[in-house]
Structure 1
């Protein structure tokens, strides 16, 4: 339901949240991203796909400030160029980043992890000292329900399943109220049930903020992507709906391993 609402909207009707223009990144003599452009609209559920080494994760790194580009800009709606800011400043501008491996405090409970995230402007010890004996706040209660951990608030984070750990970290990011959420393969290593739950969670999150997902699981992309950008050799190859992307022979050639003449043969049979 959430997808169909977003897909029926024209991009010109939806405010732009973030624009990356002419991003180029090099590591030594290797150019990982070459003049890449990316536009993110409000409430986008936007997937970045492409073969290994295409530059997808590097683009997320540039947006969150982990990697500085050789050239190009990443501007928020207010005109702020994120490439000029440090990582913590970018977080405060409303950009949250989740890496592939969950980053949680395994020895703390789910509730304590969420409390630390809610008190992210304080040191961990200060936050726990303030919150340890407090009741869970309405915001945390809403987030634990959203990520499906309402019955696990007293469980140690290290004892959670892989999927639950991923949802916990997403919940920790949501408590920081980002406008843009960057996720690197959030469904990797999950069971089928966890994968579907993650997809539905991302759709729900996109009702309130913009989400960019790097993903390799094409079934997951087909099921949940509202918009898809295909990267190849650090550049934009194709952008559109999943159906539009799948119909492009260049995508089939570089991403699915099919040559153009394969399509010509198939068309004659």
Structure 2
């Protein structure tokens, strides 16, 4: 590699928080992702959309280490190559992942779930010794306020509403201090009020870190996305603002199944 190429690569990586390049993933004979690129900048609230089977969740799986790509690289801006690391190592590098179904401890309180998340970054032995109704740290208090569960601190997680469970898990991830937060359909199954609260929460989180959201709710995407990447058949189809995506006839054709001459329907459906 020439010195100029190295310089350009370093400049490109420095301009982004995370850079995924030429990602290809195959499951047996099926190629789920084909040469996909994704660049995430600081404070991005970046939505990844597309029809079912487009490869969106697989891209999140590659970034967090759940799935290893056939080829391609995922680099943080410090040069760390994530595809060489295991899932727990990637978490410690500052990449947090939330799956669609909440992963919380229903028999424990909100406070205890958050305490477990906070201590998991330190010592497994300390985690086992977390006192019931123990002291709430300043970091925990800040997260509790951020996710809006200040009135539910001592409620068992299993008794929370669906939306509250989602916010609790997001709070658990925030206590691990990620630089990049990956969320898979965070508003699925939520009420309208919970959906809007989640959108505002994600905007707030993006003030301090970068967020990637896989989402099918187009109304939610239109209201809260700062940047949108559209995938189709494992490839990048379109990237830009929501307005730019809506105006692209290819998006209407492959994502909504519309003809090129009536693509404006994406703005109202």
The TM-score with structure 2 as length reference comes to 0.91
How far residue 107 of structure 1 moved from its aligned partner, in angstroms, is: 0.3
Aligned position for 2:3? none
How many residues are treated as equivalent by the alignment?
251
2: CA distance, partners of 1:85 / 1:176? 18
Alignment RMSD: 1.5
CA deviation map 1:181-213 (0-9, x unaligned): 000000000000000000000000000000000
Tell me what 1:180 maps to.
Answer: 180
1:130 CA displacement:
3.6
The aligned counterpart of 1:267 is none
Distance in 1, matches of 2:218 and 2:261, equals 23
| 1:139 to 2:100 alignment | no
Q: For 1:77 and 1:234, locate their aligned partners in 2 and report how far apart those are by CA, in whole Å.
A: 25
In the alignment, the residues of structure 1 paired with residue 263 and residue 179 of structure 2 have an alpha-carbon distance, to the nearest angstrom, of 41
The equivalent of 1:23 in structure 2 is: 23
Supply the distance in 1 between the matched residues of 2:94 and 2:131 (Cα, whole angstroms). 24
Change (3 A) 1:154 1:254: same
TM-score (norm 1): 0.91
* 2:219 maps to 1:230: no
C-alpha distance in structure 2 between counterparts of 1:263 and 1:55, whole Å: 23
Q: Are 2:46 and 1:46 equivalent residues in the alignment?
A: yes
2:4 alignment partner in structure 1? none
Distance 2:38 2:221 in 1: 18
Deviation at 1:128, TM superposition (A): 4.4
Tell whether the 8 Å contact from 1:115 to 1:128 is kept in structure 2 after alignment. Answer: no
**Are the counterparts in 2 of residues 112 and 128 from structure 1 also a CA contact under 8 Å?**
no
Shift of 1:262: 4.1
Matches within 5 A, 1:102-251: 102-120=102-120, 121-123=122-124, 126-132=126-132, 134-251=134-251
CA distance in 1, matches of 2:31, 2:261: 30
Counterpart contact for 1:140–1:175, Cα < 8 Å: yes
SS in 2 for 1:79: coil
Which residues of structure 2 form unaligned runs of 5+? 1-11, 265-269
- Which SS does the other structure have where 2:90 is aligned? helix
For residues 144 and 58 of structure 2, what CA distance do their matches in structure 1 show? 30
Alpha carbons of structure 1 residues 151 and 263: separation in structure 2 relative to 1, 3 Å:
closer
| Secondary structure of the corresponding residue to residue 72 of structure 2 | strand
Structure 1 residue runs of 5 or longer lacking an equivalent are 1-11, 265-269
C-alpha contact 2:133 2:154 (8 A) present in aligned 1:
no
Q: Cα deviations across residues 186-244 of structure 1 (Å, max 9, x unaligned)?
A: 00000000000000000000000000000000000000000000000000000000000
**What is the match of residue 77 of structure 1?**
77
Equivalent residue of 1:16, what SS?
A: coil
SS in 1 for 2:129: helix
Aligned-residue offset at 1:133: 5.1
Give, in whole Å, the separation in 2 of the partners of 1:191 and 1:263.
29
> In the aligned structure 2, how far is the partner of 1:106 from the partner of 1:26?
35
